[in-house]
Structure 1
Amino acid sequence: MGENKRKLYKNPDKAKIFGVCAGIAEYFGFEVWVVRIITLALAVLNWFNGTIVFAYLVLFFVLDPKPESISNKGCFGKERHRARPDKTPFENKPYKPTVKDVWRSGSSPKEMLDTIEYKFSTVESKLQRLESFITSKQFELEREFNKMN
């Protein structure tokens, strides 16, 4: 039961600085860019009195690199030498599209706005029908009959 636990690692293969954000994103199943933006926003806005920067540095020193990672990037993506694993990390893994792939495959903004406009008009027409029924005499009559039962 406890053998299949996930472990938090820093991910040097996707590192921009130390790979901590990439590791956190992988652990929680988020996109890496979201974790990076949140971390940067918290650090720049100096929330928690610098605790974010301190926690990031602590995680850099405490977390082990991901075992099946190919590279061992250090500070700012500089490659450090490390024994490579026997298997490549991408064997038999399903393709996970990146944010750029998803953005490219999506609809154009005009198509999206047309879709949203159609959905809102459908909801609005349903609400209008509901409102006209609730304010009708038939609704009041049915409500009175239901009170009698």
Structure 2
Amino acid sequence: MNSANKDNGYLRNLYRSSSQGWIAGVCAGLAESYGQPVWLARIVMLTLFVFSGSLGVLLYLAGVILLKRRPLSAREAEPRQPKFDYGQPLTQRARALAERMRELDRRLQRMERYVTSNRFRYDKEFRDL
């Protein structure tokens, strides 16, 4: 059984990126490994640095020490599917909701026309007999 170590990417394809890295490739490597955009990993690291200062720097240095640069023989990771499925884009959901509201409005208008019509009054009188 293979044990997880630095040389095999901890069996999770965790390496520092040699192609997209700016400083040492830690953020880009993590983003590639988890199938997220690189800019998102950089924003998270920058936010962590801004709000915690030294913790962000220490985590980045730990990444430099613990993660090996991606070797040429290592397979490029297929981007993982995001853990959450957000469904349809917001614009499509808004259009579908607007269409449902229009249909509801049309049904309500038909009902109001019937309730205010003479036919409703006659139907009511027949039921009351």
What residue number does 1:17 align with? Answer: 23
Q: CA RMSD in A?
A: 3.8
Residues 1:35 and 2:12 aligned together: no
- When normalised by structure 1's length, the TM-score is 0.47
Counterparts of 1:32-111 in structure 2, within 5 Å, are 32-44=38-50, 46-47=51-52, 50-68=54-72
Separation (CA, whole Å) in 1 of partners of 2:104 and 2:42:
41
Alignment size in residue pairs: 92
Residue of structure 2 in register with 1:78 after alignment: none
Secondary structure of 1:13's aligned partner: coil
Q: Quick one: distance in 1 between partners of 2:64 and 2:38?
A: 16
Mapped to 1, the partners of 2:106 and 2:57 lie a distance apart of 55
Distance of aligned partners of 1:57 and 1:126 in 2 relative to their CA distance in 1, 3 Å threshold: farther
- Tell me the CA shift for residue 54 of structure 1: 0.3
| Greater Rg by CA | 2
Provide the residue aligned with 1:119 in structure 2: 96
4+ aligned runs moved over 4 Å, structure 1: 126-130
Q: Any gaps of 5 or more consecutive residues in structure 1? A: 69-84, 97-111, 133-149
The alpha-carbon deviation at position 12 of structure 1 amounts to 1.7
Query: What is the CA distance between 1:129 and its match in structure 2?
Result: 7.5
Tell me, in whole angstroms, the C-alpha distance in 2 between the residues paired with 1:123 and 1:10.
Answer: 49
Structure 1 residues 126 and 42: CA distance shift in structure 2, 3 A:
farther
Are the structure 2 counterparts of residues 51 and 122 from structure 1 closer, same or farther at C-alpha, using a change threshold of 3 Å? same
